[in-house]
């Protein structure tokens, strides 16, 4: 029988396709991880799935749970406790955390997934100890988080820090659903953007390795581009260099506006590592003002895929502590 951990909270990372949860103890150790597919579930099914997911983790740690935090790829209106404008989940306009608290019978909290990834990195990862930190997560979309003077910055309504929708190319490609703009960081540096550009390249260059992969019926996506680039394919490397350069434009804006100590770059696209960060740092040095550019450290995230769960748990613990004080 597993030892009963004291004072666990549960973190839940909600993506567009799956939800991952774990109980997290005071030492940030994850206990009893669980996951569920949630792709295209309607609201009643989704709520039932998430309830079952959290209950499974609670049973795994024998019920010793103080609260649960949810990280959601969604704008959050913290004043009104509402999930606003979610593209991937049917929770728009729902007081999601309140609904889950009632179903689960324990306190529940929610925040944007980009904020929570940075909370984890700031608490114990690549931004630890820094007063001014920014995180950019290059996944299917691009999420952001900002720490100013040691605290997460959420903006007037809790909808700030959407660094993925920083416009870096005014005439660039259209951004994703939910965004009226074009040329956003998300439209140029996300995994979806990389897959789009790689597919266009493969169609135009059937003799290239990407073109051959397309002819073989392989999925043309970010992981394939990264694999080919590490294998020495110059076309795949060029795609990643270009992505890194667009990221560098974003970093130059971030450096000039926030003068942060560190920018942490995470997400699945960062499997390409320095193939992206190298060009990004070069553009940053060329395009940002000298003082903030020289100070800024650009570094990969520490927690990778676990950042969302850890951050959601840390957020729940933070909010529980505030309740005790209030
Ligand atoms: Zn956008």
Query: Are the C-beta atoms of 43 and 91 separated by less than 8 Å?
Result: yes
Say if 8-116+306-325 and 130-301 have the same CATH topology.
Answer: yes
Q: Is 302 exposed, middle or buried (0-12, 13-18, 19+ CB in 10 A)?
A: middle
CA of 250 to the centre of ligand 1 (A): 13
Whole-number Å distance, alpha carbon 99 to ligand 1 midpoint, is: 29
135 C-alpha vs ligand 1 centroid, how far in Å?
17
With residue 251 as reference, give the H or E element that holds it. helix 234-258
Q: Cα(62)–Cα(195) distance, rounded to whole angstroms?
A: 43
Look at residue 243 and tell me whether its pLDDT is greater than 60. yes
Q: What is the 62 CA–ligand 1 centroid distance (Å)?
A: 43
Position 269 pLDDT exceeds 70: yes
CATH for 130-301 (3.40.50.720, 3.40.50.880, 3.30.420.40, 3.40.1710.10): 3.30.420.40
Tell how far the Cα of 163 is from the centroid of ligand 1, in angstroms: 9
Contact, 157 vs 210, CB < 8 A? no
Distance 51 CA to ligand 1 centre (A): 32
- What's the gap in Å between 159 CA and the centre of ligand 1? 14
- Say how many Å lie between the CA of residue 147 and the centre of ligand 1: 21
DSSP states along 37-73: E-TT--HHHHHHHHHHHHHHHHHHTTT-EEEEEEEES
State the Cα–Cα distance between residues 201 and 301, nearest whole angstrom. Answer: 29
For residue range 91-117, what is the model confidence (pLDDT) as tens digits? 989 999 999 999 999 999 999 989 999
CATH superfamily of 8-116+306-325: ATPase, nucleotide binding domain (3.30.420.40)
Residues 34-90 have pLDDT tens digits of 999 998 899 999 999 999 999 999 999 886 899 999 999 888 887 778 888 776 788
The pLDDT, as a whole number, for residue 82 is: 86
Segments making up each domain of the chain, as ranges? 8-116+306-325, 130-301
Span from the CA of 179 to the centroid of ligand 1 (angstroms): 5
Q: Residue 326's CB: how many other CB atoms inside 10 A?
A: 5
């Amino acid at each position: 029988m597993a030892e009963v951990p004291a004072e666990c909270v549960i973190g839940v990372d909600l993506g567009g396709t799956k939800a991952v949860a774990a109980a997290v103890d005071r030492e940030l150790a994850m206990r009893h991880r669980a996951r569920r597919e949630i792709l295209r579930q309607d609201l009643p099914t989704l709520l039932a799935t998430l309830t079952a997911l959290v209950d499974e983790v609670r049973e795994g740690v024998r019920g010793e749970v103080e609260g649960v935090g949810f990280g959601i790829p969604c704008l959050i209106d913290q004043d009104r406790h509402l999930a606003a404008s979610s593209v991937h989940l049917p929770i728009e306009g729902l007081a999601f955390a309140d609904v889950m608290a009632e179903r689960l019978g324990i306190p529940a909290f929610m925040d944007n997934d980009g904020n929570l990834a940075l909370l984890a990195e700031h608490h114990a990862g690549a931004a630890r100890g820094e007063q001014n930190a920014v995180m950019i997560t290059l996944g299917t979309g691009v999420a952001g988080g900002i720490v100013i003077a040691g605290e997460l910055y959420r903006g007037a309504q809790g909808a700030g820090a959407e660094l993925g929708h920083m416009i870096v190319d005014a005439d660039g490609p259209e951004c994703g659903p939910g965004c009226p703009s074009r040329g956003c960081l998300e439209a140029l540096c996300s995994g979806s953007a990389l897959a789009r550009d790689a597919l266009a390249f493969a169609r135009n260059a059937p003799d290239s390795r990407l073109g051959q992969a397309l002819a073989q019926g392989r999925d043309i996506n970010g992981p394939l581009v990264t694999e080919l680039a590490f294998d020495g394919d110059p076309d795949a490397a060029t795609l990643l260099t270009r992505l890194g350069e667009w990221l560098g434009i974003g970093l130059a804006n971030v450096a000039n506006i926030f003068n942060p100590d560190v920018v942490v770059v995470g997400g699945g696209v960062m499997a390409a590592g320095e193939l992206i960060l190298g060009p990004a740092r070069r553009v940053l040095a060329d395009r940002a003002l000298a003082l903030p550019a020289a100070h800024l450290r650009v570094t990969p995230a520490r927690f990778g895929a676990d950042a969302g769960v850890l951050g959601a748990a840390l957020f729940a613990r933070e909010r529980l502590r505030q309740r005790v004080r209030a």
